[in-house]
């Protein structure tokens, strides 16, 4: 239904930014584009600023911030600018000179404050801007391809005059930019120029990458309108991973293709006006230049046999629930990036525990889960449910703050405050208190929650609350729920942290980063769950079989990460909802 993404025939701008939800294939499609253009004799620079980048696996070579020419692809240069590394360097620049001079406690607190996602975001934006505004590089390369794109939030913030007003800099992003830009007016010029280049449709296009699935399509629609809103209007859409000829006799393959068709039929309206290309699901994994070359050219034959997945049985969620029961853990939370199925796993664990006769309270942040309708059949007396409505909590917080800003600040100040409230942290903080209150219920029953603050937030808020305890007069009494939170979450006898992921490159990398962040806060995950696994479906479709074989390497990696405490949930055609279906995956 969509034409194939035939790079050679398209008229592309010199700068291409690939964007999309984790796991949709940004890196593979960006690499494919770069290789095809280089094969045509164009000089191409491929830039990765994704902290979970797997460019090294794709090119099977070590990469760093230098431009490395790829031997199998003349004219292609690749650079890996890890923004976490850049953020770490920046952090050390700020903090390092004062180590031993200022008290250790102050230095440690400064370091944590510079360890959030906003620092990383700004660091990666810095990397973009320097490449985009470097005249020499702009003329040296025919194409510069980025496998990530800046967020609308960062771009809007930098365009606001108040972002540069030092007196507003005591709040989050302000400080970071104030620090990053520290007195360099030149930098301000670089940022201005960057925004100019980004919003010039003859120079820059945004390549939205999605899977034919509802969550990534929604994310693509959001990114599309957000970035169009700040002037990046030259956009195209790649639907990656279409299963075109499902094996007719195979239930899984048939359901898989049907689900894709339905997702595309219900594609968000904003995407319908965008030129769209298709990339079929590849019957191989995307490592090695040869494979990437084939990505957009499905007709090209494979030189090796399609890999076949071994038919293995994986541990089920039941054994993990048994473990939780045996240990007597009373707080269970599922963590993972959006779209991996945290709510499903949390609900299933709640059902499993209630089935084993425990009183359980289940809290989810996903209003679409409709759990109230779902669970009340047989075990109504044992499961109670509540919802943390992130949108509502954020709105309450925003409204309260903005009311004050409008009362006292001028237009620029209000605009800045408003944008600051769009930061990814606002949501996390707004739900923090609700989260703390729910955890407190574990005194009387088992509590299962499908979300948790990041380790970074917990550390900062813990220090903050320590500070509040001493100055109770400014903020009133600190609730016991907040005081006890971190010690409780750190105690493995009390708390089980379940990491949810998919058996694919980016989701596994993202989950691993989540674990590092939790460990910093002294929280050790109890187990891992691999959700939506094709390898666990025993499909016979050859393309899905090849994907399943690729999944197995990631499942093995999860198994090692989890020190064998892991479970695999097979891919389901529809979202797993309802008591009966949830019960099925817990036995």
Partner 1 sequence: MNKVEVFEAGGCCSTEVTNPEEKRESIRFSVAMNQLASEGYDVARYNILSDTAAFDKNTTVKKALNDDFSQLPITLVDGKIVKMKSLPSNDELAKWTSLDAQKLGGKPRIRLEISK
Instruction: Report, as residue numbers or ranges, the catalytic residues.
Output: 23, 25-28, 50, 506
For 493, list phi and psi in degrees, rounded to 5.
-75, -20
Q: Pick from 3, 8, 74, 102 the residue near partner 1 by CB under 8 A.
A: 102
Q: In 3D, which of 57, 60, 70, 65 has the Cα closest to residue 81?
A: 65
- Could you tell me how far CA 122 lies from the centroid of its own chain? 16
The answer to whether 404 contacts partner 1 (rule: CB under 8 A) is yes
At residue 252's C-alpha, the angle toward residues 250 and 253, to 5°, is 70
CB of 419 to partner 1, least distance (A): 14
Give all strands (DSSP E) within 232-355, no chain letters: 235-242, 276-280, 331-335
The answer to whether 467 contacts partner 1 (rule: CB under 8 A) is yes
CB of 186 to partner 1, least distance (A): 17
CB of 90 to partner 1, least distance (A): 11
The answer to whether 505 contacts partner 1 (rule: CB under 8 A) is no
Residue 497 near residue 518 (C-beta atoms within 8 A)? yes
CB of 430 to partner 1, least distance (A): 9
133/175 with CB nearer partner 1: 175
The residues that bridge with 446 in the sheet, in sequence order, are 360
Binders of partner 1 in range 81-100 (CB under 8 A): 94-95, 97-98
Q: Pick from 8, 103, 161, 367 the residue near partner 1 by CB under 8 A.
A: 103
CB of 336 to partner 1, least distance (A): 21
Tokens at 213, concatenated: 């699935």
Residue 382 near residue 354 (C-beta atoms within 8 A)? yes
What gap in Å lies between CA 275 and CA 236, rounded to an integer?
5
CB of 97 to partner 1, least distance (A): 8
Cα-only R_g, the chain: 24
CB of 190 to partner 1, least distance (A): 18
Stretch that binds partner 1, among 57-65, 197-205, 455-463, 524-532 (CB under 8 A): 455-463
At residue 224's C-alpha, the angle toward residues 115 and 20, to 5°, is 50
Tokens at 111, concatenated: 């370091």
Binding mask 30-69 for partner 1 (x = CB under 8 A): ----------------------------------------
Binders of partner 1 in range 282-341 (CB under 8 A): none
Stretch that binds partner 1, among 277-285, 326-334, 467-475, 526-534 (CB under 8 A): 467-475
What gap in Å lies between CA 309 and CA 105, rounded to an integer?
52
- Phi-psi sector, 271: left (phi>0), alpha (psi -120 to 50), beta: alpha
What gap in Å lies between CA 311 and CA 332, rounded to an integer?
31
252/451 with CB nearer partner 1: 451
> How far is CA 575 from each of CA 189, 255, 581, rounded to the nearest angstrom?
48, 12, 10
The answer to whether 110 contacts partner 1 (rule: CB under 8 A) is yes
Give all strands (DSSP E) within 198-308, no chain letters: 204-210, 235-242, 276-280
Residues that bind partner 1 (CB under 8 A): 94-95, 97-98, 101-103, 105-106, 109-110, 113-114, 116, 118-119, 165-172, 175-176, 178-179, 182, 396-397, 400-401, 404-405, 407-410, 413, 417, 425-426, 429, 432-433, 456-457, 460-461, 464-468, 470-471, 474-475
């Amino acid at each position: 239904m969509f034409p194939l993404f035939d790079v050679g025939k398209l008229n592309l701008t010199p700068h291409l930014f690939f964007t999309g939800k984790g796991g949709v294939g940004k890196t593979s499609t960006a690499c494919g584009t770069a290789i095809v253009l280089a094969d045509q004799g164009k000089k191409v620079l491929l830039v990765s600023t994704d902290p979970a980048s797997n460019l090294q696996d794709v090119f099977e070579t070590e990469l760093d911030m230098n431009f490395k020419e790829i031997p199998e692809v003349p004219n292609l240069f690749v650079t890996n600018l890890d923004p976490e590394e850049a953020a770490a360097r920046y952090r050390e620049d700020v903090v390092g000179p004062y180590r031993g001079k200022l008290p250790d406690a102050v230095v440690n607190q400064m370091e944590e404050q510079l360890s959030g996602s906003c620092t990383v975001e700004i660091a990666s934006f810095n990397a973009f801007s320097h490449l985009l505004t470097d005249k020499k590089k702009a003329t040296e390369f025919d194409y510069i391809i980025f496998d990530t794109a800046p967020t609308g939030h960062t771009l809007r913030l930098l365009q606001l005059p108040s972002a540069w007003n030092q007196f507003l800099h005591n709040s989050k992003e302000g400080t970071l930019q104030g620090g990053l830009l520290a007195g360099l007016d030149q930098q301000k010029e670089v940022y201005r120029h960057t925004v100019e280049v980004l919003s010039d449709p003859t120079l820059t296009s945004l390549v939205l990458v999605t899977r034919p699935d509802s969550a990534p399509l929604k994310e693509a629609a959001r990114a599309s309108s957000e970035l169009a809103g700040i002037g990046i209007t030259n956009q195209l859409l790649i639907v990656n991973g279409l299963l075109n000829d499902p094996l007719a006799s195979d239930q899984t393959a048939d359901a898989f293709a049907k689900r894709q068709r339905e997702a595309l039929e219900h594609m968000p309206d904003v995407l319908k006006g965008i030129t769209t290309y298709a990339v079929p699901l590849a019957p191989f994994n995307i490592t090695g230049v040869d494979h990437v070359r084939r990505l957009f050219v499905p007709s090209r034959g494979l030189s090796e046999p399609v890999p076949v997945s071994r038919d293995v049985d994986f541990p089920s969620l039941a054994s993990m629930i048994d473990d939780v029961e045996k240990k007597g853990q009373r707080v269970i939370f599922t963590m993972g990036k959006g779209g991996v199925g945290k709510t499903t796993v949390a609900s299933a664990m709640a059902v499993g525990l209630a089935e084993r006769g425990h009183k359980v309270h289940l809290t989810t942040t996903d209003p679409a889960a409709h759990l109230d309708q779902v669970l009340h059949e047989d075990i109504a007396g044992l499961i109670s449910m509540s919802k943390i409505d992130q949108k509502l909590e954020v709105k309450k917080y925003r409204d309260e703050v903005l009311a004050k800003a409008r009362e006292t600040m001028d237009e620029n100040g209000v605009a800045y405050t408003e944008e600051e409230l769009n930061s990814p942290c606002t949501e996390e903080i707004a739900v923090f208190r609700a989260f703390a209150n729910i955890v407190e219920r574990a005194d009387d029953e088992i509590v299962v929650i499908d979300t948790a603050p990041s380790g970074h937030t917990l550390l900062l808020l813990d220090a903050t609350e320590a500070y509040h305890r001493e100055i109770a007069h400014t903020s009133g009494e600190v609730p016991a729920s907040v005081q006890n939170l971190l010690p409780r979450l750190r105690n493995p006898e009390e708390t089980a942290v379940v990491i949810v992921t998919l058996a694919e490159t980016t989701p596994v990398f993202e989950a691993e980063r989540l674990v590092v962040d939790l460990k910093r806060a002294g929280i050790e995950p109890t187990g891992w769950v691999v959700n939506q696994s094709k390898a666990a479906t025993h499909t016979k479709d050859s393309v899905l079989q090849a994907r399943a074989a690729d999944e197995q390497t990631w499942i093995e990696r999860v198994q090692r990460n989890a020190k064998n405490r892991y479970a695999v949930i097979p891919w389901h055609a529809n979202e797993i909802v309802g008591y009966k279906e949830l019960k099925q995956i817990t036995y």
